[in-house]
Structure 1
Amino acid sequence: MADTTVKVDTATRDRFAAVAAARGQSVRAYLAELAIEQENQVKLGRATTEFREALARPGFLENFDRDFGGLPTSEQHSSSRAA
């Protein structure tokens, strides 16, 4: 992949460099990872919105319970983690 230049003020550059160094990464690697993390956050936000919209549709939860046996209880979730 070709390199490019991004212009930021020196304070921002220094902050990125400090965070990258603390993580044992180059600024390039840190920014690449940060971009992926932020893309994932955008996708998670969209998925959350779509899930909430689905839950609001009439009959959605009832059909889910019928087809999949309902959501696990907090006790089931805790015991599956312990296993």
Structure 2
Amino acid sequence: MADTSVKIDDVTRDRLKALADDAGMSMKDYLAKVAEEKEHEKRLETATAAFRRVIAEPGILDRFDADFGGLPPVRHETPRAA
């Protein structure tokens, strides 16, 4: 894949460079990682919206509980003060 340049202001470049340095990465690798993370976030947003549409349907949670037994009980394993 060929490299290219992108024009950004000095402040933004410096901020990105500092973030890349903190991550121990080159600017090129850091920006590729950020793009991948943003794509992942977008897919999660799409999935979350679809999930919310589905669970908003009347009776869907009751049917889910009937088919799959509902949520497991919450266990608190931390000691409690007397």
TM-score by length of 1: 0.82
**Comparing both structures, which one devotes a greater share of its residues to helix?**
1
Q: Secondary structure at the match of 2:46?
A: helix
Q: Deviations over 1:12-67 (max 9, x none)?
A: 11111111011110001110111111111111111111111111101211111111
Runs of 4+ in 1 over 6 A off after TM superposition: none
| Alignment match, 1:48 | 48
User: Per-residue deviation at 1:72?
Assistant: 2.5
Largest Rg, 1 or 2: 2
User: Per-residue deviation at 1:70?
Assistant: 1.1
User: Per-residue deviation at 1:71?
Assistant: 2.0
| Alignment match, 2:80 | none
| Alignment match, 1:63 | 63
Give unmatched runs, 5+ long, in structure 1. Answer: none
Aligned length: 77
| Alignment match, 2:32 | 32
Quote the Cα distance in structure 2 between the aligned partners of 1:18 and 1:60.
48
| Alignment match, 2:73 | 73
